[in-house]
Structure 1
Amino acid sequence: MPEGHSVHRIARQFARNFVGKRIRLSSPQGRFVDGAKMLDGHTMTDARAVGKQMFLEFDNGLWLRVHLGLYGAWDFAGDIHASGTDAAIRGRRRRNVGPAAAAVTLDLAGEDSLQSIGAPRLTRLRMAEDEQVSVGAVGFPPEPVGQVRVRLLAGDVVADLRGPTACVVLDPQEVQVAMDRLGPDPLLDDSRAAEDRFVTVVRKKPTPIARLLMDQLVVSGIGNVYRAELLFRAGLNPHAPGRSLSDEQARALWKDWAHLLKIGVATGQMMTRDGLSDAAYGRALRRRADRHWVYKREGLPCRVCGTHIALEEMAARKLYWCPKCQS
């Protein structure tokens, strides 16, 4: 399932390439015909991500809410442009995963995806958990591929949505209710109040901290990968009740989530390891196996203490952790 960094990146694609344009909406699959009619021909005025959910606003006051879930993905095609901020990132490398380090945006093959995305009418960009760019002579607009729930066409750019858990039209009041239900997202609100909200909820709950971090009503955007990595980086036992954490431990989790989320949005990858050389950092961006401390490393020695990484199931999701470092 796409985690928070992916959804924020998708929202930025819409902000760059669709906001301010009149959008033609259709449902090639036929399952969203009524919803598409409500928005067809209207101008997109806003694109927001809150955790794992995205909200697109139109000039008739209605919004499109999309939750990709396990199988959803967006395909972009056409004259896709990167923003000035991301263009400035291009080509620089980060030696360490730190707040002041330089960033680089790479696709799965280690290529600069911003350069590829900018090729007018030649690029298809798939945005789900991983971003894949392919370049070829593609007619515009391209034919829908697969079961496209909704297509958004804006002159020289097109976005196709396939396999979402949710794709619904909401009025402003319904959008506010949906947003208010979600836990705080540090990329939207990094205030002390948002931090306090997270800390207060966590420290009241008898629920294991590993389950709390996956609860989107507690904190927005964290999925299975970031959950495992955050707990390892904090040295916390995933079974520890939320209320057993100290104030300092809970605040440190919030701050580290904000830190890792920014890295994920900048690079497009869930990079969670620190202190890597330039060469090691480049390899990690290309290969998930080199990117994480514990995620999907069951049975392998811990990178810190050598203990075999454990794998168990918690709330129907796989949990990876080090029994020694997180004892």
Structure 2
Amino acid sequence: MPEGHSVHRIARQFDRNFVGKTLSASSPQGRFAEGAAVLDGRTAVSVQAVGKQMFLETEGDLWLRVHLGLYGAWDFAGEILVDPTIASANGRMGQTNQRGTDLDEAILDDAGENSLASIGAPRRTRVHVRMSEQTKGLHDEGMEWPPPVVGQVRLRLLTDITAADLRGPTACVLQTPEEMLATVAKLGPDPLVGDPAENEERFVRAVAKKQTAIALLLMDQSVVSGIGNVYRAEMLFRQRLNPHTPGRDVREETVRALWRDWVRLLAIGVETGQMMTMDDLSAEEYRAAMASRDDRHWVYHRAGLPCRVCGTEIALEEIGARKLYWCPRCQA
């Protein structure tokens, strides 16, 4: 499932390429035909991400809410204006938080996480993207416009130069402003939304009153927004915290450390497009990690392999119908 960093990157993509423009909306698949007809011809006003959900505001006090879920993805085509605050495998990686490493050339990710062309469930994208800092004529290079529909597209949004195709979302619905605010109110704090200090306090209060295992709480979107299976496993390891510890039994200083780590990791994820959770890497190690998920994490997807710290075999179990990876010794 796409985690919070991906959804924030999608929102930034929409902000630069769709906000302020008139939308042409359709549902090639037909499952969102009525909603697309309502959206068609409206101007995109604003966009925001909260956790794993994106909200696109259009004129007339109408919001489009999209939750990608396990299988959803946005595919982009046409002229893509690049957000200079985020990096891409299709362009310069830019400054990172790993010892100030500065990588000048593209690093291609084998897991499909880092792409301007497709953000969401990993897939081999066939759409054509041309990055640009200023618009150019699409037909100068003979690009077919609009691009052909590929697969089951729930919603297609078009401007005069950019296309966004939504496939396989868990939710794609229209909301009034009141409905949108009610949805957001049910979500836990997101480090990139709202007051930072209050966000931390909300998280601390929510964890302190729960008997539920901390591994489950980190995945509960009403407790904290945006954390998924990868970040959950990595954050628990980084704090050397037993995933089965009840929330109310976790020391407050550790709960605060979890939150502050999430603030940091989310920022890295939004910048790079990767769920980078290892620290103090050399430039060579960082390059390898950005290119391959296997070199990017402490415990995630490493069941049966030795812990990178103590050598104990990484355990795998199911909790809350999701896979949990952890070190039985470091996190005893």
Normalized against structure 2, the TM-score is what?
0.89
Post-superposition shift, 1:192? 1.2
Letter in 2 for 1:128: G
Q: Distance in 2 between matches of 1:285 and 1:129?
A: 18
Among 267, 288, 304, the alignment partner of 2:293 is 288
Q: Are residues 311 and 185 of structure 1, via their aligned partners in 2, closer, same or farther at CA, if it must alter by over 3 Å?
A: same
| 1:224 counterpart residue number | 229
The letter of the residue matching 2:190 is D
Task: For 2:111 and 2:25, locate their aligned partners in 1 and report how far apart those are by CA, in whole Å.
Answer: 34
Q: Give structure 2 stretches of 5+ with no counterpart.
A: 130-141
User: Which residue number in structure 1 is paired with residue 65 of structure 2?
Assistant: 65
Matches within 5 A, 1:165-204: 165-189=170-194, 191-204=196-209
Q: Deviations over 1:113-143 (max 9, x none)?
A: 78xx5xxxxxxx1111458676587512111
Please give the residue correspondences for 1:81-120 in structure 2 after superposition, counting only pairs within 5 Å. 81-86=81-86, 90-92=92-94, 94=96, 97=98, 106-108=107-109
- How far apart, in 2, do the equivalents of 1:12 and 1:298 lie? 35
- The reply to whether residue 236 of structure 1 matches residue 241 of structure 2 is yes
What SS does the aligned partner of 2:198 have? helix
Q: Distance in 2 between matches of 1:140 and 1:28?
A: 15
Contact 1:260-1:272 at 8 Å conserved across structures: yes
Looking at structure 1, the residues matched to 167 and 83 of structure 2 have their Cα atoms a distance apart, in angstroms, of: 25
Shift of 1:187: 1.4
Residue in structure 2 matched with residue 145 of structure 1 by the alignment: 150
Contact 2:215 2:243 in 1 (8 A): yes
For normalisation by structure 1, the TM-score amounts to 0.91
| Native 8 Å contact 2:233 2:325 kept in 1 | yes
Look up the match of 1:120: none
Distance in 2 of aligned mates of 1:110 and 1:103: 19
Determine the structure 2 residue equivalent to 1:22.
22
The one-character-per-residue Cα deviations of 1:65-119 (angstroms, maximum 9, x if unpaired) are 000001101110000010233479934354x636x766887442699x78xx5xx
Assess, with a 3 A threshold, how the Cα gap between structure 1 residues 102 and 255 changes in structure 2: closer, same or farther.
Answer: farther
Q: Once structures 1 and 2 are overlaid, which stretch shifts more, 51-60 or 78-87?
A: 78-87
> Residue 325 in 1 paired to residue 330 in 2?
yes
Gaps of 5+ in 1: 118-124
Query: Residues 288-326 of structure 1, C-alpha deviation per residue, up to 9 Å, x if partnerless?
Result: 000000000000000000000000000110000000000
Other-structure match for 1:3:
3
Return the letter of the residue paired with 1:200.
Answer: R
Partner of 1:42: 42
User: d(CA) in 2 for partners of 1:4 and 1:87?
Assistant: 16
Paired AA for residue 249 in structure 1: T
Is the 2:101–2:283 contact (alpha carbons within 8 Å) kept by the matching residues of 1?
no
Distance across 2 between alignment mates of 1:303 and 1:184: 31
* 2:273 paired with 1:268: yes
Cα distance in 2 for partners of 1:140, 1:255 equals: 45
**How many matched pairs?**
315
SS in 2 for 1:9: helix
Give the Cα separation in 1 of the matches to 2:87 and 2:185.
33
